[in-house]
Amino acid sequence: MILLTGATGYIGSYIWIELLKGSHEVVGIDNLSNSSASSLGAIAVISGTTPNFIEGDIRDKEFLDQIFDEYSFTHVIHLAGLKGIHESLVKKEEYFDVNVKGTDNLLQTMKSYNCLKVIFSSSAAVYGDCTSSPIKEVDTLNPSNYYGETKLEGERILAKAFNGPPIISSISLRYFNVAGRHPSRKLPGYSGSNTHSLFSEIESVITGKSESLKVFGNDWGTSDGTCIRDYLHITDLVKGHLDALKLLDDLEKCLALNLGLGVGQSVYGVISMCEHITGKLISRQVVPRRPGDVGVSIANTHLAAQLIGWRPEKTLADMCSDFLL
């Protein structure tokens, strides 16, 4: 029995569908702070199974005790968290409370109920402005923003949980930039209100909600001057979780794996691809760099290929067309 936290969020909904399709027994929890229960209907239609959802907060010890009393969880997929890089700089306390204290709370509850396997949503933000590229898991962890620090602290909590009995084995999946949408179009292509991803901003311009797209700096020392990111399709990301879940069954380790496409795309490169696919011009405006951003972030994914046999299949063109057409 799997406990999925952050279950009604962008990534959680897609993972939940695949778990249900694979006949896993799943209980999903979420405090609905950045998602809505309306995704439950879509999850039911797409998976053909009614999802078992309980509204609640990972910071609420009594709530966690109640659900662990009721269900015999063997695995946790822990996605619940706050994820705005720039928001984290102004709401440090809240980010610490949810991403660090919430994770600690969950791990302590797991220990006391002998639930000893966890997959954790970590982030490329744990690396910060890494000098080597593509980035390997063994490279220096030096976050450039508070969000990245909270994710790194989450990984440290997992490392501690591996050290003391009962031992919790874990895989931290360090996601790069997730994009794309379910072909049914019944689920959103990004998360709720606190998200300002490049793709959501492009959609706003294309649909006329905003006049132009802000490009944060064109002086980054890259070929066209704009930031370079590694974009990964949501369906490849989900597959990475299912592959990691299989490895976790026989694993007695605390492991971290990068999940990215292994290819970098500049902001202008993504805009051009979206213009090409939609046939629409996307107007843009260069504004100063934002604090907390890094110039280049590309994953080396050899370890994920080697250990869980994971290989992403979808391209940037797939992400743009799934999202915008």
Ligand X SMILES: NC(=O)c1ccc[n+]([C@@H]2O[C@H](COP(=O)([O-])OP(=O)(O)OC[C@H]3O[C@@H](n4cnc5c(N)ncnc54)[C@H](O)[C@@H]3O)[C@@H](O)[C@H]2O)c1
Residues with catalytic function:
147
Is residue 267 near ligand X by the rule CB under 6 A? no
User: Which residue of 121, 222, 258, 265 would you call a contact of ligand X, by CB under 6 A?
Assistant: 121
Whose CB is nearest to ligand X?
9
User: Which residue of 16, 40, 42, 102 would you call a contact of ligand X, by CB under 6 A?
Assistant: 102
Chain-centre distance for alpha carbon 190: 10
Is residue 109 near ligand X by the rule CB under 6 A? no
Structure tokens belonging to residue 183 = 């072909």
User: Which residue of 40, 68, 73, 81 would you call a contact of ligand X, by CB under 6 A?
Assistant: 81
Residue 90 or 286 having the CB closest to ligand X? 90
Is residue 8 near ligand X by the rule CB under 6 A? yes
Chain-centre distance for alpha carbon 228: 18
Residue 211 or 299 having the CB closest to ligand X? 299
User: Which residue of 17, 76, 80, 152 would you call a contact of ligand X, by CB under 6 A?
Assistant: 80
Cβ atoms of 273 and 319 within 8 Å: the answer is no
Among 1-9, 43-51, 164-172, 290-298, which window interacts with ligand X (CB under 6 A)? 1-9
Residue 102 or 269 having the CB closest to ligand X? 102
Is residue 58 near ligand X by the rule CB under 6 A? yes
Chain-centre distance for alpha carbon 120: 9
Is residue 11 near ligand X by the rule CB under 6 A? yes
User: Which residue of 19, 20, 40, 98 would you call a contact of ligand X, by CB under 6 A?
Assistant: 98
DSSP 3-state assignment of 120?
strand
d(CA 44, CA 17): 8
Is residue 59 near ligand X by the rule CB under 6 A? yes
Q: Which of residues 146-175 bind ligand X (CB under 6 A)?
A: 175
Which distant-in-sequence residues (6+ apart) come within 8 Å of 231 by Cβ?
176, 177, 178, 179, 261, 265, 270, 316, 319
**Nearest CA among 199, 215, 196, 197 for reference residue 207:** 199
Is residue 57 near ligand X by the rule CB under 6 A? yes
Measured over the CA atoms of residue 214, residue 220, residue 226 and residue 227, the dihedral's sign is: negative
Number of helices (H) and strands (E) in the chain: give both, helices first.
12, 14
**String of contacts with ligand X for each residue 188-227, x by CB under 6 A:** ---xx-----------------------------------
User: Which residue of 17, 20, 27, 30 would you call a contact of ligand X, by CB under 6 A?
Assistant: 30
**What are the contacts of 209-214 at 24+ separation with CB within 8 A?**
211/283, 212/283, 212/284, 212/285, 213/271, 213/282, 213/283, 213/284, 213/285, 214/284, 214/285, 214/287
Residue 94 or 219 having the CB closest to ligand X? 94
Among 9-17, 67-75, 203-211, 311-319, which window interacts with ligand X (CB under 6 A)? 9-17
d(CA 26, CA 4): 7
Among 81-89, 106-114, 290-298, 313-321, which window interacts with ligand X (CB under 6 A)? 81-89
User: Which residue of 75, 83, 239, 241 would you call a contact of ligand X, by CB under 6 A?
Assistant: 83
Cβ atoms of 6 and 53 within 8 Å: the answer is no
Which distant-in-sequence residues (6+ apart) come within 8 Å of 153 by Cβ?
99, 100, 103
Compute the least distance from the CB of residue 60 to ligand X, in Å.
8
**Eight-class DSSP state of 135:** B
Name the residues that contact ligand X, by CB under 6 A: 5-6, 8-12, 30-35, 57-59, 79-83, 98, 102, 121, 123, 175, 177-178, 191-192
